[in-house]
Amino acid sequence: MLPRTERPRIDAHAHIAPSVTRQQVHDLGNAFVFGMTRSLDEARQVVRRVDTNVLWGVGTHPAVAESRDAYRPEAFRKALEYFAVVGEVGLDRRGPREQQRTILDSVLDECHDAPVLISLHSTGRTSELLEALERRPHPGAILHWFTGGPTDLRRALDLGCYFSVNGAMPPETVSAIPADRLLTETDFPSSRRKIGARLPGDTTKAEELIAASHPGSQPRALIHDNLRRILSVTGALDRLNAQQAALLYPVETEPLLPPVSDGSRNDHQN
């Protein structure tokens, strides 16, 4: 097993162009990135990609009118079986409440029992998003850039939600989230300036924030433990391709068979 410090950074919410080249993905370095899509059309463009360090999502961004208008439950249902992540989906204060809620309810209905993680956007409509989740809870729910208050935080924790946090979030929000519900994100690129992430996967600031708000924690190891748990509980782990699984969970490089002993090496060595 690699030393824990060399495990990849985890970016549970970033936007990457579907046309990204293999070289560009490679240049993300030692990172494992959830690549959000904003529409079913974008998801269609990435569905055949086989990337080691990008786990693509199927999404419909609540603030993008064309994406909302193009959402079809049947199309989402068909796409869903090819993805381990759903995102970006959710609610946003920009845009018609009713249409957004209809789509979110449909997404959550389709995701019921599906082995996926769901990256949820809730800007300005956090309580309503939690209401939708209370109606149809999911063990893979990850609230991205949570901005709710203590009451909504309590509701989200009761629902079993995880939280992907970034370097621009207030420290008091991050410290209020229990360590075992934390994941890291960049939300690249829209908030590059605020978050200070140079590239998708650059979660340095988020890890620093976790280290400061949860004294004594080891953010990288913590996030890996949390990711492993949510991937296992949902069954999404089985949807990772072989290279992704090997990146996150390298097998030990012990020899398969014990060395043959001829009895001459039993002398004590220091």
The radius of gyration computed from the CA coordinates of the chain, to the nearest angstrom, equals: 20
In angstroms, rounded to a whole number, what is the distance separating the alpha carbons of residues 112 and 63? Answer: 24
Q: Which stretch binds Zn ion (CB under 5 A): 70-78, 86-94, 104-112, 223-231?
A: 86-94
Residue nearest to Zn ion (CB): 88
Kindly state the smallest distance separating residue 253's Cβ from Zn ion, in Å: 37
16-43: b or e for each residue (b if 16 or more CB lie within 10 Å)? Answer: beeebeeeebeebeebbbbbbbbbbebb
Q: Which stretch binds Zn ion (CB under 5 A): 39-47, 81-89, 162-170, 237-245?
A: 81-89
Kindly state the smallest distance separating residue 148's Cβ from Zn ion, in Å: 17
Collapsed DSSP state (helix, strand, coil) of residue 192: helix
Q: Which stretch binds Zn ion (CB under 5 A): 16-24, 87-95, 131-139, 240-248?
A: 87-95
In angstroms, rounded to a whole number, what is the distance separating the alpha carbons of residues 168 and 199? Answer: 15
Rank residues 4 and 94 by Cβ distance to Zn ion and give the closer one: 94
Count the residues of the shown chain that bind Zn ion, applying the rule CB under 5 A: 1
Kindly state the smallest distance separating residue 66's Cβ from Zn ion, in Å: 16
Q: Applying CB under 5 A, does 185 fall inside the site for Zn ion?
A: no
Q: Applying CB under 5 A, does 88 fall inside the site for Zn ion?
A: yes
Strands (E) across the chain are located at 9-15, 31-36, 54-58, 85-90, 117-121, 141-144, 162-165, 182-184
Q: Applying CB under 5 A, does 207 fall inside the site for Zn ion?
A: no
AA identity, residue 62: P
| 189 upstream amide cis, omega within 30 of 0 | yes
AA identity, residue 113: D
Kindly state the smallest distance separating residue 57's Cβ from Zn ion, in Å: 10
Q: Which stretch binds Zn ion (CB under 5 A): 50-58, 80-88, 155-163, 217-225?
A: 80-88
Kindly state the smallest distance separating residue 259's Cβ from Zn ion, in Å: 51
Kindly state the smallest distance separating residue 42's Cβ from Zn ion, in Å: 12
Residue pair 141/120 in contact (Cβ under 8 Å)? The answer is yes
Q: Applying CB under 5 A, does 42 fall inside the site for Zn ion?
A: no
Q: Residue numbers of the site for Zn ion (CB under 5 A)?
A: 88
